[in-house]
Structure 1
Amino acid sequence: MPNLYKRPGSDVWHFSFTVDGKRKRKSSGTTDKRLAEDIAIKHEARVRRAVVHGTEAVLTFAEALDLYVTDGKSTRFTVPLFDYFEKWKVKDITGPEIRKAAKIIYPDASPATWNRQVITPMRAIVNHAAEAKRLSKISVTRFKEETKRRPAGNSDWLKAFCKAAKKLNMPETAAIARFMFETATRVSEACRLTWDDVDLQHGVAFLAKTKTEPRKVFLTRAMVIDLANIRSLHPTLVFAAANRSTIKKRIDKVIKEAGLTRLTSHELGRHGFATEMIRRNGVDVATTADHGGWKSRRLLMETYVEGDADREVIDRVFGKKNNV
């Protein structure tokens, strides 16, 4: 039977007990003595069970999730997972059970959603706890996703876009379109680019804050000229736009004027960059990932494929038509 006691100056009951020669002490978190006794008895039984049968016998998903969040991991998509698995023991959470849960939690979702919002976070949470508690990790088979071919930017599209943008007296929009296409920069990253991040003399720009890691990008001769021509538009921001919604409105306006196929900033930028590099010019995945800032080469392999970054490949792929 656990021993209940109060610390000086506190009305909250604490308790202690000995298991396997080790003294355990813990706060009940309550001033109600009967409730504190129940909490203490339950906790002692749990600790004894863990000593006899191992940590995996008592570790719950709620505790695993708490370990995960406390360690600073993302809480995205975790609420529905907590609602479903809250009372489960981690030892009972298997790959098939997670796949089953995905279809129950999101009955009308696609395999891509099941993978992104259930398979990936569940595997991360359970294996994080397994590593912390020295337990066996789990593997979960992902759902097979239907590959959808998205439209992508290309040099001809860009040429028509830039021509229309300059006709509308929107050189900054022509410049950001080229920048995203030739460097695989996300629109939010392009918006944050300042003139202090750009070295036109050496033809490079530094992306300090990205989704993955800071990186240097190489600028083609045409890109340097475009940037030099908009140098006076804003004292700080290269593309004179503080947010992506502003860029979207500008791009949509030019697309309408030019009568072009509508592309999102991602389709124009990162998707166009990877397509131009891999599919149209046969650049290897490793080099493309290095230049485009992809942390996962597997993603590029799955999407675009049926060394160290250097300037040569950028000039070879994107510098061929400097008159765009």
Structure 2
Amino acid sequence: MPLEPYPRGAVWWARGRVEYNGAPITEYYRCSTGASEEPGAWDWCRAEEQRVIRIHLLGEDPEEKIITFAEAVLQYEAKPKEAAYLVPITKEIGSIPIHELSPKVVRELGPKLYPNCSTDTWTRQVVTPVRAVLNNINDSESGIAFRVRGYTQKEKVAQDNKRKSTGRKKYPPGSWEWLLKFREHAPPRLGALALLMFVTGARISQAVSMHPRKHINKAKGMICIPGAKGHGDRWLRVPDEILSELTALPEVYPRDWPRKPENLRLFGYADRGGPRKLWNKACEDAGIEQIPFHPAGRHGFGQEMNVRERVDEKAAGAFGGWSDLNLMRNTYTHAEDAEIKINQALRRGLLKAERKTRLKLRKEP
């Protein structure tokens, strides 16, 4: 049967074979057209038929350029860290045409390039940058996204056993108790930074980039968390005591920065690494666990809103800048006092059952 489109979810797919003079000249197609509407899917089918028939009659199309992975990398605007990840990847697969790259080939690069690292590292330093490069090309060519299945829990455990490590240390999320103790031993500016991250869910990179004039509106009682990771700026109303503390901070320039108004920073740090030394010292002086920026701030906010105070998750997600509530729920909430809570719940359930049945779990001697 000739190529014809059919709906599959939000995208139209194609099925059938390309025919010439009534005879099929290809294997059976079952693939996405990348079109969201039927007319676009029909256009894809007709264009594909014309392309295949031309090749059938004339041989390989000389105008059809084969793009290698190395060429695709050159067309991708990578960030510095991402570019560093792409260097060893390109050495391995740079000469391979992108249409020959399969998810299996990409996934196998992880253990080959980083045999002693975790599956999380393989995902971050191999799968994610390769997928970004290929999808940058696909956006302008076929429009079909390149997808790679993540590493399974079984693969993660096997790799952790092989390298005798379970990966990064797991830190508890921040809390009001931890924050108050931290602020007792932190310089005022650093204490204000920790407070801002905890009450807004701001990342350290967002917090240190805040400008005292551009991101604080004292008249309206609002602060602006700069956009990050594809999200725009967030203007938030915060309690008066927090706003007062932020507006009371003296205006300061990061060290060695030109004294221009646009270079002012609310907390005075040039980048996310600036506060680290004083942060660790404040933890040590306070005698509390050294919780890094992200667990203390963004994870602390997620835990406080979703688990401790049980705020409506849509409200917490909107305020904290999560468009994906599943991400907030699965990544930024943590089991806390699990044994105590479960044992208390079991005890409550037992007492209810004993009262209802007038029977006792523990028989009296």
TM range (shorter): 0.5 to 0.7
Question: TM-score normalised to the size of structure 1?
Answer: 0.66
Shift of 1:100: 1.4
Quick one: structure 1 residues 135 and 234, their matched pair in 2 at CA, closer, same or farther if it must change by over 3 Å?
closer
SS class of match (1:269): helix
State the 1:296 CA deviation: 5.0
Match of 2:223 among 201, 205, 223: 205
CA distance, structure 2, for counterparts of residue 198 and residue 248 of structure 1: 24
CA distance in 2, matches of 1:185, 1:282: 20
Residue in structure 2 matched with residue 92 of structure 1 by the alignment: 100
Query: How many residue pairs were aligned?
Result: 251
Cα contact 1:175–1:226 (8 A) shared by 2: yes
CA distance in 2, matches of 1:61, 1:115: 18
* Partner AA of 1:176 in structure 2: L
Q: Secondary structure at the match of 1:194?
A: coil
The farther-off stretch of 238-247 and 103-112 is 238-247
TM-score (norm 2): 0.59
Equivalent residue letter for 2:148:
V
Match of 2:173 among 135, 152, 162: 152
The CA distance in 2 between the partners of 1:91 and 1:240, in whole Å, is: 48
Aligned residue in 2 for 1:185: 202
Give matches, 1:238-277, under 5 Å. 238-277=266-305
- Deviation of 1:248 (Å): 2.2
Whole-Å Cα distance in 2 between the matches of residues 194 and 59 of structure 1? 44
Deviations 1:149-178 (CA, angstroms, capped at 9, x unpaired): 43211011112222334xxxx322222211
User: Which amino acid is the alignment partner of residue 275 of structure 1?
Assistant: Q
Unaligned 5+ residue runs, structure 1?
Answer: 1-47, 307-324
Aligned to 1:302: 330
Distance in 1, Cα, partners of 2:123 & 2:312: 27
Aligned to 1:220: 239
- The change in CA–CA distance for 1:55 and 1:68 in structure 2 (over 3 A counts) is farther
Residue in structure 1 matched with residue 189 of structure 2 by the alignment: 172
Deviation of the 1:76 alpha carbon: 4.8
**CA deviation after TM superposition for structure 1 residue 190, in Å:** 2.4
Pair 1:51 & 2:72 matched: no
Structure 1 pair 264–88 and aligned structure 2 pair: CA distance change class (3 A): same
Q: C-alpha separation between the residues in 2 aligned to 1:68 and 1:233? A: 39
Deviation, structure 1 residue 281: 2.6
Q: Which runs of 5+ in 2 are unaligned?
A: 1-57, 157-166, 254-263, 335-365
- Identical-residue share of aligned pairs (%): 27
Deviations 1:228-276, CA, capped at 9 Å, x for gaps:
5x34475954334444444223322322221111111112111211221
What residue in structure 1 maps to residue 164 of structure 2?
Answer: none
Residues 131 and 163 from structure 1, CA distance in 2 versus in 1: closer, same or farther, beyond 3 angstroms?
Answer: closer
Q: CA RMSD in A?
A: 3.3
Q: Deviations over 1:64-92 (max 9, x none)?
A: 3233349xxx6352112211111212222
Instruction: Select between 98-107 and 243-252 the one with higher mean Cα deviation.
Output: 243-252
Q: Return the structure number with greater relative CO, CA threshold 8 A, min gap 6.
A: 1
